[in-house]
Structure 1
Amino acid sequence: MRLEPDGGAPTDSVALLSQCFHALGDNIERVVKGKRETVELALVCLFSEGHLLVEDVPGTGKTTLARCLAASLEASWHRVQFTPDLLPSDITGVTVYRQNTGTFEFLPGPVFANIVLGDEINRASPKTQSSMLEVMEERQVTADGTAHPVPRPFMVIATQNSVDMGGTYPLPEAQLDRFLMRVTLGYPDHASEVAVLSGAASETSIGQLPTIATGRHIAEFIQVARQIQVAPQLYDYLVRVVAATRELPGVRLGASPRGSVALLRAVRVRAASQARAYALPEDVKALAGPVLAHRLILTPEAELSGTSGADVIAEALATVPVPQAGARL
């Protein structure tokens, strides 16, 4: 028997979410060839209303993936090119004095959009990076004591080069923890790279991508995903996996409770993307790495030995017993 509780999201709504999810994936793959797994992780972020960090070496398609996702939606989006001289007000907005009216007016920055593309986010100074903390967590910008909410749904898709490359700053741990996932694209396989060279995946085709869904549709599907049922044993399993990251050797700081909440949101979306109204342990296993690995801080000894956050997550999944399927819950 499967871990499938009673109740939950209506079956028809889950089916529509799954159809939209895969239609978006097919649309993005018209440009981003051979990276279906990464594309689907990006879509899990979208339907979770989470933020996505795409990290890799230059030229692997990080910005192209972000642009394709934005082009597939009929929603507002802005792109911010992060540079060392970028100021916090260049992102969040600024309050100006209107001499003709004698009043102060807040001029919203590019962060006020449904999708914000932060290109090479780790090339900005730590002060500028920190200006994203409030809006990524609370979906608002506070200026002169007044809170200005951003449009919903709201998603930040940030790209960054490897931190050992020139001109980069490491993202603050608090900001990393606000990204629901960190993914890498990697180099394309042979067939995909041949398609790029032959023009089948030319960047100019991004503007020709059809719109698959509107911001309103995504907002509705976000609510549907939140109704996906999770059995008590699965809650327990998820918490044990996260707790294991805090106890394993080589870990100085494990995943926070925010990581537990993020993993649960992503698990529900993955279940819905497969037209299931209930989550399974396989959903936790598939998403634990992308959701949790970047939240860990390892000891210097572990880093010197070549241990990565993904290695710790794999060990945690191997250590925690998987709940056995039993009677319907």
Structure 2
Amino acid sequence: MTDFTPPSQPDPAQPAPVSDDPRAALQEALQEIKQVIVGQDAMLERLLVALLAGGHVLLEGVPGLAKTLTIKTMSQVLGGSFARIQFTPDLVPSDIIGTRIYRPNSGDFETGLGPVFANFVLADEINRAPAKVQSALLEVMQEGQVTIAGTAYEVPKPFIVMATQNPIESEGTYPLPEAQVDRFLMKVLVDYPTTSEESAVVGRSLAGERDVRELLTLDRLARYRDAAREVIVGREVISYAVALTDATRNPAAHGLHELSGQVQHGASPRGSIGLVHAARVLALLRGRGHATTQDVRDLARDVLRHRLVLSYDALASGITPDDILDRTIATVADPSGHGLTSGRSRAA
């Protein structure tokens, strides 16, 4: 009797082979995520940029726009651990960072680490938790560690917090103070899909939940983050990022006299830093070894919109931060001499 050896099957626990080129590998990962997520290309690109730039993202959109599914799918494709925290008014800081637990059988205390100890943390409806809980999470975001009973515990790397908030419901919420919102690298507005995209979403729902492949590993992501740090950022790119940020603080100095009474507080230098760091990651995703002013311009609204505090007159007139930024981007001179594009780019 002849022995029969069945053909080897790919191990689902092992990542599928991908290109060694960072851009090709990351684009392949994005395409795998898009097998599940339809019509949110810009959001997916921004989430990947934030992850590689070491920042966090605040997602604002009405319920039902696949924010939770997006983050969970990203963790599956990129090979990281995922945790979801549903923020409610009765949460306490230990519910998210962990606490000391007494074990009667041994008479000792053990440390129970909270759900923030994951690579991808979804803080669902962050504005529903009281200030102490919000501050505890934002401290983890800034320091990359938590302290329990005098001992510091580092969160896993990479680490990204994606917080969501509902813009149409304010009852029972605790809005994030401006100083805390400023800790997010980006605020991404998640809009409704088009009718054709929604038809595709409905069609896919009939087929049931779709499995995705794990294409990358945390080691690969760390290498791609290092590769992003090697992207060249020229002086003109830095100057342009600083000029855009400064224009939100001193609009009259940049010929934006009509905005002087509309912005109460502009973006801090953290806005300029965020723009430059995000721009070089975007350049890597676009297959370039250098960042351009176009990269800065494409990300300016996402990086700056949550850092603006508008005046009461502007709010009463229905003016939004994006209205201010649209005018700013259209007016501030581009030192590279390239043509300006004042319209918003929806596609990734």
Asked whether the two chains share a fold, i.e. TM above 0.5, the reply is yes
Could you say what secondary structure the match of 1:33 adopts? coil
The Cα shift of 1:199 comes to: 2.8
Could you say what secondary structure the match of 2:209 adopts? helix
- What is the distance in 2 between the residues matched to 1:175 and 1:225? 26
Residue 159 of structure 1 is matched in structure 2 by 164
Residue 293 of structure 2 contacts residue 336 of structure 2 at CA under 8 Å; is this kept in 1?
no
Change (3 A) 1:313 1:271: same
The Cα shift of 1:145 comes to: 3.1
Residue 293 of structure 2 is matched in structure 1 by 281
The answer to whether the aligner puts 1:194 opposite 2:199 as a matched pair is: yes
The Cα shift of 1:142 comes to: 2.0
- What is the distance in 2 between the residues matched to 1:288 and 1:53? 15
Could you say what secondary structure the match of 1:213 adopts? coil
Higher relative contact order (CA 8 A, sep 6+): 1
Could you say what secondary structure the match of 1:266 adopts? helix
The answer to whether the aligner puts 1:321 opposite 2:333 as a matched pair is: yes
- What is the distance in 2 between the residues matched to 1:43 and 1:137? 19
User: Structure 2: which 5+ runs fail to align?
Assistant: 1-18, 252-259, 339-348
Could you say what secondary structure the match of 2:21 adopts? helix
Residue 73 of structure 1 is matched in structure 2 by 78
- What is the distance in 2 between the residues matched to 1:186 and 1:252? 27
User: What does 1:1-329 align with in structure 2 at a 5 Å threshold?
Assistant: 16-98=21-103, 103-162=108-167, 164-199=169-204, 204-205=209-210, 208-248=211-251, 249=260, 250-324=262-336
- What is the distance in 2 between the residues matched to 1:321 and 1:111? 42
The letter for the 1-side match of 2:235 is: P
1:144-199: per-residue Cα shift (whole Å, max 9, x none)?
33322111111011121116443332122222111111112211111111122223
Could you say what secondary structure the match of 1:60 adopts? coil
The Cα shift of 1:271 comes to: 0.4
The Cα shift of 1:203 comes to: 6.8
- What is the distance in 1 between the residues matched to 2:110 and 2:205? 47
If the length of structure 2 is used for normalisation, what is the TM-score?
Answer: 0.84
Could you say what secondary structure the match of 2:59 adopts? strand
1:244-303: per-residue Cα shift (whole Å, max 9, x none)?
111232112211122221111110011000110001110010001001101111111111
Identical aligned pairs, as a percentage? 44
Could you say what secondary structure the match of 2:226 adopts? helix
Q: In angstroms, what is the RMSD of aligned CA positions? A: 2.1
The letter for the 1-side match of 2:270 is: R
The letter for the 2-side match of 1:36 is: D
- What is the distance in 2 between the residues matched to 1:223 and 1:258? 21
User: Structure 1: which 5+ runs fail to align?
Assistant: 1-13
Residue 53 of structure 1 contacts residue 157 of structure 1 at CA under 8 Å; is this kept in 2?
yes
1:22-44: per-residue Cα shift (whole Å, max 9, x none)?
11221121121122122111111
Residue 123 of structure 1 contacts residue 168 of structure 1 at CA under 8 Å; is this kept in 2?
yes
The Cα shift of 1:308 comes to: 1.2
Residue 78 of structure 2 contacts residue 217 of structure 2 at CA under 8 Å; is this kept in 1?
yes
The letter for the 2-side match of 1:263 is: L
Residue 255 of structure 2 is matched in structure 1 by none
Residue 93 of structure 2 contacts residue 132 of structure 2 at CA under 8 Å; is this kept in 1?
yes
- Greater Rg by CA: 2
Change (3 A) 1:276 1:81: same
